[in-house]
């Protein structure tokens, strides 16, 4: 059976309330029984002390308990006087009842106010007496049932500081009389009635609370279903400041990120299709011209087709590199090497291309070696991409500057060129895939728009940073920072 959150909340509240009421009833019952037993025990102990004093008076008057041996006619009056008349002197309890004082003729005897206030029925001594036992100084029974002193109430019988006997009584147990039982039953019924009313109110409150909590969850579910259907513009109305409100804000941020990624994905797909279609269209036109005899088949035509093939091959290779980076399949081999030596070798290889585009290379490198732990082949790929980017978009007669700085465990490599600069100033977008500026950095220059994105992926894999800004030479400045030593997990 599948329970909704509202039902779970209602059942939880009801269960907690039932457990609380049941526990309270059980504790009340236990407390009543334990407290009443303690009260009876203390009350009976007080009465036992009175009886012990009464028999102490008897012992002082008669010198022994010999006359009490199985003699209820003597024992019963002593118990009645001790329990009915309250605390009296020991001598008075041991002697016979005092004689009545003389009274005028015709006057009735005075009424015993205490006797009038006592309820009718057998004397208290008749109820308490048969349960009492008296042991003499040697522990021998004098009267009453045999009892174990260790499991009974005790009160010593002392005369002039000397113990002459021990009174024993059973430990009382909690037993309700009819009137008391009726009263307790009435209270229990009242408690049960109150508990039922409380359960009904709690049920209504829990149902309201469950619906109040489930209402925003239903809204969240609706929005997530819309997002799952591809409607990424859907948002949750945040009306709460609690955890559900925070969850709604997170869902809105997730939807915004998904919408931005979907927009970027569609743009990349459109740009990629255009990038792939352009060289294919050119090659198709070239081949059709050769077939139709419009263009003669010579070295120039073959070189034109070969250039388009190389351009297409580079685009596919760049896409493959980015796909490997996204899937975590781009492998790196870290080792210690001299970065200055690597930069000089790359610069020498690029000299011929720089002369073709009429650019002057300025090297600003330190004289001492700069040791770096990195993947030399991947850094070579980064440098070649940056050089190609500058040579492709820098005006002829300009310059390209390569600089290296080292400080605080970081190595900074800067590649900057002369005019033209980035017209829109959106330098962060340069590292997006297939990004191009419409004018100075157009597709006509032959770039794929993926080179700087590959550079960013490689630099981040080295736990470094790469950024672009305006150059003092008038063009674009790109610099990347690398740590001298790689982290353990990057090796």
Structural domain boundaries in the chain: 5-96+122-170, 243-324, 331-490
Interval 407-432 mean pLDDT:
84
Per-residue pLDDT at 464 exceeds 60: yes
Which tokens hold the place of 365? 């490198």
Average pLDDT, the chain: 77
pLDDT band at residue 119 under the 50/70/90 scheme? very low
The lowest-confidence range among 60-74, 234-248, 444-458 is 444-458
Interval 301-328 mean pLDDT:
79
Per-residue pLDDT at 117 exceeds 50: no
Per-residue pLDDT at 402 exceeds 90: yes
Q: What is residue 185's predicted lDDT score, i.e. its pLDDT?
A: 72
User: In this predicted model, which residue has the larger pLDDT, 435 or 167?
Assistant: 167
pLDDT band at residue 341 under the 50/70/90 scheme? very high
Q: What is residue 413's predicted lDDT score, i.e. its pLDDT?
A: 93
Q: Percentage of the chain surpassing pLDDT 70?
A: 81
- DSSP 8-state secondary structure symbol assigned to residue 2: P
Q: Percentage of the chain surpassing pLDDT 90?
A: 8
- DSSP 8-state secondary structure symbol assigned to residue 97: P
Per-residue pLDDT at 114 exceeds 50: no
pLDDT band at residue 85 under the 50/70/90 scheme? very low
Give every CB contact of residue 287 below 8 A, 6+ residues apart in sequence.
Answer: 305
Q: What is residue 128's predicted lDDT score, i.e. its pLDDT?
A: 55
Q: What is residue 486's predicted lDDT score, i.e. its pLDDT?
A: 65
Per-residue pLDDT at 225 exceeds 70: yes
Q: What is residue 480's predicted lDDT score, i.e. its pLDDT?
A: 92
Question: Left (φ > 0), alpha (ψ -120 to 50) or beta: where does 278 sit?
Answer: alpha
Phi and psi torsions of 110, nearest 5°: -65, 145
pLDDT band at residue 105 under the 50/70/90 scheme? very low
CA-CA distance, 466 to 451, in Å (whole number)? 13
Range of 11-25, 200-214, 317-331, 382-396 with top mean pLDDT: 382-396
- DSSP 8-state secondary structure symbol assigned to residue 317: H
The lowest-confidence range among 39-48, 144-153, 223-232, 320-329 is 320-329
Interval 202-215 mean pLDDT:
77
Interval 22-50 mean pLDDT:
77
- CB-based contact 477:470 (threshold 8 Å): yes
Q: What is residue 233's predicted lDDT score, i.e. its pLDDT?
A: 86
Interval 462-491 mean pLDDT:
81
User: Does domain 243-324 correspond to CATH entry 1.10.287.130?
Assistant: yes
Which tokens hold the place of 61? 């008057």
Per-residue pLDDT at 342 exceeds 80: yes
Per-residue pLDDT at 440 exceeds 50: no
Q: What is residue 412's predicted lDDT score, i.e. its pLDDT?
A: 92
CA-CA distance, 168 to 134, in Å (whole number)? 6
Q: What is residue 400's predicted lDDT score, i.e. its pLDDT?
A: 92
pLDDT band at residue 106 under the 50/70/90 scheme? very low
Which tokens hold the place of 201? 């109110």
CA-CA distance, 447 to 243, in Å (whole number)? 49
- CB-based contact 291:422 (threshold 8 Å): no
User: In this predicted model, which residue has the larger pLDDT, 26 or 29?
Assistant: 26
Residues 331-490, CATH architecture: 2-Layer Sandwich (3.30)
Where are the strands (E) in 111-223, listed by range?
Answer: 133-136, 141-143, 152-159, 162-170
Per-residue pLDDT at 151 exceeds 50: yes
Per-residue pLDDT at 381 exceeds 80: yes
Q: What is residue 448's predicted lDDT score, i.e. its pLDDT?
A: 61
Q: What is residue 190's predicted lDDT score, i.e. its pLDDT?
A: 79
pLDDT band at residue 177 under the 50/70/90 scheme? low
**H/E element holding 217?**
helix 178-228
Q: What is residue 123's predicted lDDT score, i.e. its pLDDT?
A: 38
- CB-based contact 467:427 (threshold 8 Å): yes
Q: What is residue 287's predicted lDDT score, i.e. its pLDDT?
A: 87
Q: Is the peptide bond before 398 cis (omega within 30 degrees of 0)?
A: no
CA-CA distance, 181 to 81, in Å (whole number)? 31
CA-CA distance, 320 to 331, in Å (whole number)? 13
């Amino acid at each position: 059976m599948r329970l909704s959150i509202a039902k779970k909340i209602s059942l939880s509240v009801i269960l907690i309330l039932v457990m609380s009421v049941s526990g309270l009833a059980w504790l009340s019952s236990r407390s009543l029984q334990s407290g009443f037993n303690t009260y009876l025990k203390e009350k009976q102990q007080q009465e036992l002390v009175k009886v012990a004093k009464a028999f102490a008076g008897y012992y002082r008057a008669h010198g022994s308990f010999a006359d009490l041996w199985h003699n209820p006619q003597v024992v019963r009056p002593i118990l009645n006087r001790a329990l009915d008349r309250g605390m009296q002197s020991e001598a008075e309890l041991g002697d016979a009842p005092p004689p009545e004082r003389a009274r005028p003729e015709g006057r009735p005897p005075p009424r015993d106010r205490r006797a009038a206030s006592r309820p009718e029925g057998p004397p208290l001594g008749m109820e308490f007496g048969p349960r009492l036992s008296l042991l003499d100084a040697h522990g021998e029974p004098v009267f009453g049932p045999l009892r174990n002193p260790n499991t009974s109430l005790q009160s010593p019988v002392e005369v002039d500081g000397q113990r002459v006997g021990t009174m024993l009584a059973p430990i009382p147990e909690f037993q309700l009389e009819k009137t008391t039982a009726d009263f307790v039953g009435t209270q229990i019924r009242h408690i049960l009635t109150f508990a039922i009313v409380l359960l009904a109110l709690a049920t209504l409150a829990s149902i309201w609370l469950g619906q109040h909590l489930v209402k925003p969850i239903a809204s969240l579910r609706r929005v997530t279903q819309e997002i799952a259907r591809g409607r990424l513009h859907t948002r949750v109305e945040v009306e709460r400041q609690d955890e559900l409100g925070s969850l709604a804000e997170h869902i809105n941020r997730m939807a915004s990120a998904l919408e931005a990624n979907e927009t970027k994905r569609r743009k990349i797909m459109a740009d990629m299709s255009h990038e792939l279609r352009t060289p294919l269209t050119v090659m198709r036109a070239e081949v059709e011209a050769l077939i139709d005899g419009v263009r003669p088949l010579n070295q120039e035509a073959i070189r034109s087709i070969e250039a388009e093939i190389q351009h297409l091959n580079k685009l596919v290779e760049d896409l493959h590199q980015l796909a490997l980076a996204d899937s975590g399949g781009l492998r790196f081999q870290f080792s210690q090497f001299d970065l200055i030596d690597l930069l000089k070798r790359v610069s020498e290889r690029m000299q011929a291309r720089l002369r073709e585009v009429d650019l002057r290379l300025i090297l600003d490198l330190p004289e001492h070696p700069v040791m770096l732990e990195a993947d030399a082949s991947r850094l070579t790929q980064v440098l070649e991409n940056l050089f190609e980017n500058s040579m492709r978009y820098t005006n002829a007669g300009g310059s390209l500057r390569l600089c290296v700085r080292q400080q605080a465990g970081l190595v900074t490599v800067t590649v900057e060129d002369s005019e033209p600069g980035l017209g829109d100033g959106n330098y962060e977008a340069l590292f997006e895939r297939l990004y191009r500026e419409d004018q100075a950095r157009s597709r006509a220059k032959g770039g794929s728009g993926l080179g700087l994105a590959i550079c960013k992926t490689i630099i981040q894999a080295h736990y470094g940073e790469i950024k672009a800004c305006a150059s003092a030479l008038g063009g674009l400045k790109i610099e990347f920072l690398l740590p001298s030593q790689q982290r353990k997990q990057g090796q």
